[in-house]
């Protein structure tokens, strides 16, 4: 019987995950970028078999050659950013109750009530054990 010796190891590899146009924070202008991923690969007989982990990612501007974290791709132009801040402010405003207020004496004003919700009539029982039984 022959002894089979597996020669295995790991190898770092950099591959291009994508490219396109982004707003370079250094150039302050739309630029071409290359999104690169450094990964550690499991190798067998010096042949990379599968990626084991991502070691790092970078986005490099083709104009100024600066590298950035991939999150830089999510930054929009200045007016986009302003719109996002506007959205965040809007999200901080307490939600306005929708529709008519519920009148405990009038089930017609209750709208859709969840079966596990407390019954709007004020009995303290769950809707499914109170008014919800009849619907």
Q: Tell me: does residue 119 bind Zn ion (CB under 5 A).
A: yes
Site string for Zn ion, 60-89 (x = CB under 5 A): -x-xx-------------------------
Which residues lie below 8 Å from residue 82, measured CB to CB, with a gap of 6+? none
d(CA 26, CA 4) in angstroms, rounded, equals 54
d(CA 129, CA 119) in angstroms, rounded, equals 8
Q: Contact region for Zn ion (CB under 5 A) — 5-13, 44-52, 91-99, 112-120? A: 112-120
d(CA 116, CA 54) in angstroms, rounded, equals 46
Q: Tell me: does residue 32 bind Zn ion (CB under 5 A).
A: no
Q: How far is the CB of 27 from Zn ion (least distance, A)?
A: 3
Count Cα atoms within 13 angstroms, Cβ side, for 112.
Answer: 2
Residue 39 vs 127, nearer CB to Zn ion: 127
Residues at the interface with Zn ion (CB under 5 A): 24, 26-27, 31, 61, 63-64, 119, 121, 123, 130-131
């Amino acid at each position: 019987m022959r002894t089979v010796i597996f020669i295995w190891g790991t190898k770092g590899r950099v591959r291009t995950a994508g490219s396109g146009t982004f707003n370079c924070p250094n150039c302050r202008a739309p630029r071409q970028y290359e999104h690169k991923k450094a990964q550690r690969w499991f190798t067998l007989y010096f042949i990379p078999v599968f990626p084991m982990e991502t070691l790092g990612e970078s986005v490099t501007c083709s104009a100024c050659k600066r590298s950035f974290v991939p999150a830089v791709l999510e930054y929009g132009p200045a007016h986009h950013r302003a719109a996002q801040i506007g959205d965040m402010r809007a999200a901080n405003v307490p939600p306005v109750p929708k529709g008519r207020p519920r009148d405990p004496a009038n089930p017609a004003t209750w709208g859709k009530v969840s079966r596990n919700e407390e019954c709007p009539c004020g009995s303290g029982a769950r809707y499914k054990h109170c008014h919800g039984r009849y619907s």
